[in-house]
Structure 1
Amino acid sequence: MSSTVVFVPEEEEEARIPLLLPQQQPNTISRNVEEEIVVADVASSSLSSTSHELDRSKAISSSSSSLNQRLVSLDVFRGLTVALMILVDDAGGAFPSINHSPWFGVTLADFVMPFFLFSVGVSVGLVFKKTSNKTTAMMKVISRTIKLFFLGLLLQGGYFHGRNHLTYGIDVDQIRWLGVLQRISVGYFLSAFSEIWFVGNVVMDSAVAFVKKYYVQWIVAILLCSLYMGFLYGIYVPHWKFEVPDMTFTLSTPDNGSGIQIVNCGMRSSLEPPCNAVGFIDRVLLGEKHLYQRPVYRRTKECSINSPDYGPLPPNAPGWCLAPFDPEGILSSLMAATTCFVGLHYGHIIVHYKGHTQRLFLWFISSMLLLLSGLILEVLGMPVSKPLYTLSYMCITAGAAGLVLSTIYYIVDVKHTRKPTMLLQWMGMNALIVYALAACELFPAAIQGFYWRSPSNNLVNGTELLFQTVVHSKSWGTLVFVLFEILFWCLAAGYLHKKVKFPNTMASDISNVETSLMVEKSTNAESMPQSHVGRSVAQRALYGSNRRRIGNRKGTNNDKRSLPSRLSKVSLADNATN
């Protein structure tokens, strides 16, 4: 099948973001027509009016750099999330109010994980908006999921001991199976699987068609929520016991002298730390030795005299204070994956709605509905809890993510105010590397390996001490040090962006929107009014100030033939290829 296409030369890559073309008729839903690729059969009445499928590999190889195909606001959003993660992880000890909530409630740190999951969902909606070979796409998804899961296992399984520990290694009998990247891999897999297999073949000509195209995905999301709610409130949690992992911590009233603590439950529907179904499922399926050994509920009033910070156990502390609990557990990951589906919805709006006003309006409505739903659920008795990843928590954090993305989108992609956000954009494009080196403390731990006479006399500790001395405050000095650390990683990410050529996204190349270079198949193309493509895109290609060249980006500047004859040559070449 032939394809006729006009390519934009590489030299003309100034600020043209294919995903961000404003629509001439903002009240209609249309397929995503990229400015880098113009369907030429509507540009001239002398050409055939039948739409054809564009060969994907040729389009990608002949296009400009992949940077121009990125949604810049999404990179900035992801970079902001990484910066926020570094801030709360490294400064949370100095300022417990921004650290994770001990159990119920939400703080600044509690938005990091949902923001990551939300951005993954948006990326999936862009990458898989057009899949020519579902089996091949699914194999790539499986491969990326496995890689991301095992990378998380390496980084957070206990092998690396982090800052202030010049050791490494893990007893496989105590390895932690779950973590941040493992949860993201699960959300990515479920959302990508749904996007590949559960999208309806519907002509996008109305809002009703938009719902019909993606309603199966929402059914999947509702099923995930239903499974979570059913297990959370329906599973009976019996009495259980555990061995205190470190006997240097002693309870004031131990149940016995053997280091074994007994937790009395015998109930269902409890959301409190000792007797919830989330922890019960993890203990049964994973084993208590493979869970996170320093859970946030050790900062509750029942377990710390310095609450909301860590501290010594208060008198008559309950036995469960020293029990393990994984904040990225199996059951809570089902609800966490739903955040990816919410992000998927926002990505679909980018793909099918062309007007900035339309996108921002729909995003705002969706975000407010999520926030309102979360608040109503909390009023009705479902508390907001990040460790449990309750439905109310999911709604509030996903709604907040939508509002933040909308704000960044307006600043960066609508108003094109990009210089102030350039550092965050660089960090967002190298999020996985920054996460591994900074958040998992691989880089500072390596730097601390070089010290003077004593391991505490190293460059990292010395720099932090310097800031504390300058500002005459340990807490505020730590905050200044962390801000300096964030700036350092932004600049490092900028260097990687300029000098190193490799996929630079949170989940490998899942946020690379290279598939946005594909023209929709004939069913979608025939549903488009000719006036939309012909007048708003094709005529600019023919008569605009930035003249397009045909074929290769180099070597055709002196081609003086008419446009129809040059298009015919491209069409013949495509026929020969096909």
Structure 2
Amino acid sequence: MVNSVAEGKELCRIQYHFGEFGNYSLIVRRSNIQKISCNIVINQNPVNSYLPIFFAFLIYMGVFSIMTVGQFCVNIEPIRNWLYKKMNPRETDRLINSELGSPSRTDSISSELQAGVWSAASSLQRLRSLDTFRGMALIIMVFVNYGGGKYWFFRHQSWNGLTVADLVFPWFVFIMGASITLSLNSMLRRGCSKWHLLGKVAWRSLLLFLIGVVVVNPNYCLGPLSWDNLRIPGVLQRLGCTYLVVAVLELLFAKPVPEDSSLVGLYSALQDILPYWPQWLFMMALEAVWLCLTFLLNVPGCPKGYLGPGGIGDFGKYRNCTGGVAAYIDHLLLGEKHIYQHPSSNVIYQTTVAFDPEGILGTINSVVMAFLGLQAGKILLFYRGQHKQIMLRFCMWGVVTGAISAVLTRCTKDQGFIPVNKNLWSISYVTTLSSFAFILLLLIYYLVDVKRVWSGAPFFYPGMNSILIYTGHEIFESYFPFKWKMQDTQSHTEHLAQNLIATSLWVIISYVLYRKRIFWKI
């Protein structure tokens, strides 16, 4: 969109798609007193910035084809027998089943690292689709954090709207919720006391929070672990708080689900919802708190219910109101220096106020996101072995949450009642990403656990070691071979190559750890 303005009046408005590294001029001509024409003139042709992505796609498809051929060869009996003797995969499977989710042999709790178990027939099997989904979200997150090839759609949206970068963290929270109900159910079925499990939940939440504050903290560049500049919120901190609330809520009301939970009548259709009505009441009350604080709390110098970016947004009327109530609460409770100093809004909207996208108020909707994931886990528990029922309910939940988003946003980017906004973790953002998550989980579940036409590789491996991969990629982000000095810092080709190599290395590391039977559990 190009506007030409003179003396406070708009002369013309034209739509034009500008290519990268091109040079353009806007020519405004007045043919007579009333008629004005505007034209874009290309002084230097732009480059095709999408060619690096195309070539990277071809390379990865080539690798995939080689792996597919290799898998075909493995299915040949003489080759398969030789490999089984050399690699002994049964030991790896035994370790996973006994240490990472088998309800008959383990007493550890895990939400990100454990997907839980259920009986597909007479034996207990781990759901690979959950690890695959978790690994997919994690790998995209790593790629985005490393720079995403400097493409705009691999960067977080400046304010309202969505890019690829805005999808993955909520999906990680969603799958964490699904894992909570499966893992806790397996513990309760074996007779573990709720007080014992509560202690483990509290300890794990504390560890996640401390790792985020002490180890993975972007404010280290301002000083070595200086309290004056230490950022308190963060990704792992939000995961820890969300995990604590959702897991405790599940422990308060959950009962062990027997293997044969088949029922008839109306209760059968709602058996994953009706017994947990206190949880739903709590979540609705929690969401009411978010709505009341967001739209009713007075923020000094800002209009009530303001959801804008501040800065030069809204014609500069509310320059210091970035994030409205969400930022006000963080500044009031944490202090300006203890929150994120460089939000995505400061580039386009030229904001000068610190704003944290993982702040306190947004954690409420993060809990809601995990609770919807918890519902996905309950579907897998109550309808175990009933593939059609599971996929139908995933589809129904995807449609319902999508419909809620359509109402809240009025199917627009900025004109809805509550726009989709990752920085604020608005409720429409949660319902939209939940809708995507239910549909995506349906597809992965169908391909991996129902038809078994896909093993989940390569995403399955990082999904098995998610906390280790996330923490490792943050700590070693600036070290070779994950980063090196580039010849042309403006080149998509060099950035994309560096970011893809770094991300691929973490996939390889996760695969090696899987083969070595090394799994980091908190």
Normalising by structure 1, we get a TM-score of 0.62
Q: Distance in 2 between matches of 1:480 and 1:158?
A: 24
Q: Distance in 2 between matches of 1:489 and 1:183?
A: 23
Residues 310-340 of structure 1, C-alpha deviations (whole Å, 9 max, x = no match):
xxxxxxxxxxx11100100101111111000
Alignment of 1:421-460 (within 5 A): 421-438=456-473, 440=474, 442-447=475-480, 460=483
Instruction: Identify unmatched segments of 5+ residues in structure 1.
Output: 1-9, 20-30, 38-67, 162-166, 240-264, 304-320, 449-458, 509-578
Task: Give 1:194 deviation, angstroms.
Answer: 1.2
The answer to whether the Cα contact below 8 Å between 1:201 and 1:213 also exists between their aligned partners in 2 is no
> Aligned pair in 2 of structure 1 residues 498, 92: CA closer, same or farther (>3 Å)?
closer
* Aligned equivalent of 1:413, options 445, 449, 464: 449
Q: Does 1:142 align with 2:142?
A: no
Q: Distance in 2 between matches of 1:500 and 1:180?
A: 27
Larger Rg: 1
Alignment of 1:51-200 (within 5 A): 69-92=125-148, 94-130=150-186, 131=188, 132=191, 133-158=193-218, 160-161=220-221, 169-199=224-254
Task: Give 1:12 deviation, angstroms.
Answer: 13
Q: Distance in 2 between matches of 1:395 and 1:157?
A: 29
Q: Distance in 2 between matches of 1:18 and 1:431?
A: 19
- The aligned counterpart of 1:530 is none
- The aligned counterpart of 1:224 is 286
The answer to whether the Cα contact below 8 Å between 1:104 and 1:383 also exists between their aligned partners in 2 is yes
The answer to whether the Cα contact below 8 Å between 1:281 and 1:331 also exists between their aligned partners in 2 is yes
The answer to whether the Cα contact below 8 Å between 2:129 and 2:441 also exists between their aligned partners in 1 is yes
Q: Does 1:342 align with 2:372?
A: yes
Instruction: Identify unmatched segments of 5+ residues in structure 2.
Output: 1-89, 104-116, 311-320, 411-415
- The aligned counterpart of 1:512 is none
The answer to whether the Cα contact below 8 Å between 1:199 and 1:217 also exists between their aligned partners in 2 is no
Task: Give 1:415 deviation, angstroms.
Answer: 1.5
Alignment of 1:342-361 (within 5 A): 342-354=372-384, 355-361=386-392
Alignment of 1:354-503 (within 5 A): 354=384, 355-379=386-410, 380-419=416-455, 421-438=456-473, 440=474, 442-447=475-480, 460-462=483-485, 465=487, 474-503=491-520
> Aligned pair in 2 of structure 1 residues 157, 202: CA closer, same or farther (>3 Å)?
closer
Partner of 2:422: helix, strand, or coil? coil
Alignment of 1:323-338 (within 5 A): 323-338=353-368
> Aligned pair in 2 of structure 1 residues 158, 480: CA closer, same or farther (>3 Å)?
closer
Structure 1: which amino acid aligns with 2:492? S
Task: Give 1:35 deviation, angstroms.
Answer: 4.6
* Aligned equivalent of 1:268, options 301, 304, 309: 304
Residues 518-573 of structure 1, C-alpha deviations (whole Å, 9 max, x = no match):
xxxxxxxxxxxxxxxxxxxxxxxxxxxxxxxxxxxxxxxxxxxxxxxxxxxxxxxx
> Aligned pair in 2 of structure 1 residues 208, 367: CA closer, same or farther (>3 Å)?
closer
> Aligned pair in 2 of structure 1 residues 181, 12: CA closer, same or farther (>3 Å)?
closer
> Aligned pair in 2 of structure 1 residues 444, 269: CA closer, same or farther (>3 Å)?
closer
- The aligned counterpart of 1:299 is 347
Identity within the alignment, %: 29
Task: Give 1:373 deviation, angstroms.
Answer: 0.9
Task: Give 1:424 deviation, angstroms.
Answer: 0.9
The answer to whether the Cα contact below 8 Å between 1:75 and 1:425 also exists between their aligned partners in 2 is yes
Q: Does 1:279 align with 2:327?
A: yes
Aligned length: 387
> Aligned pair in 2 of structure 1 residues 184, 483: CA closer, same or farther (>3 Å)?
same
> Aligned pair in 2 of structure 1 residues 199, 11: CA closer, same or farther (>3 Å)?
closer
Q: Distance in 2 between matches of 1:83 and 1:497?
A: 16
Q: Distance in 2 between matches of 1:209 and 1:322?
A: 50
The answer to whether the Cα contact below 8 Å between 1:138 and 1:196 also exists between their aligned partners in 2 is yes
Residues 356-393 of structure 1, C-alpha deviations (whole Å, 9 max, x = no match):
11111100110121112112100142111111111111
> Aligned pair in 2 of structure 1 residues 280, 168: CA closer, same or farther (>3 Å)?
closer
- Does 1 or 2 have the higher relative contact order (CA < 8 Å, sep 6+)? 1
Structure 2: which amino acid aligns with 1:383? P
> Aligned pair in 2 of structure 1 residues 33, 415: CA closer, same or farther (>3 Å)?
closer
Residues 204-244 of structure 1, C-alpha deviations (whole Å, 9 max, x = no match):
522244332222222222122111111000110003xxxxx
> Aligned pair in 2 of structure 1 residues 431, 280: CA closer, same or farther (>3 Å)?
same
Q: CA RMSD in A?
A: 2.8
> Aligned pair in 2 of structure 1 residues 383, 12: CA closer, same or farther (>3 Å)?
closer
Task: Give 1:119 deviation, angstroms.
Answer: 0.9
Q: Distance in 2 between matches of 1:384 and 1:86?
A: 23
Partner of 1:360: helix, strand, or coil? helix
The answer to whether the Cα contact below 8 Å between 2:153 and 2:165 also exists between their aligned partners in 1 is no
Residues 256-296 of structure 1, C-alpha deviations (whole Å, 9 max, x = no match):
xxxxxxxxx2x311111343100000010001111100011
Q: Distance in 2 between matches of 1:482 and 1:238?
A: 42
Partner of 2:458: helix, strand, or coil? helix
Partner of 1:372: helix, strand, or coil? helix
Partner of 1:445: helix, strand, or coil? coil
The answer to whether the Cα contact below 8 Å between 2:118 and 2:126 also exists between their aligned partners in 1 is no
The answer to whether the Cα contact below 8 Å between 1:202 and 1:212 also exists between their aligned partners in 2 is no
Q: Distance in 2 between matches of 1:35 and 1:11?
A: 22
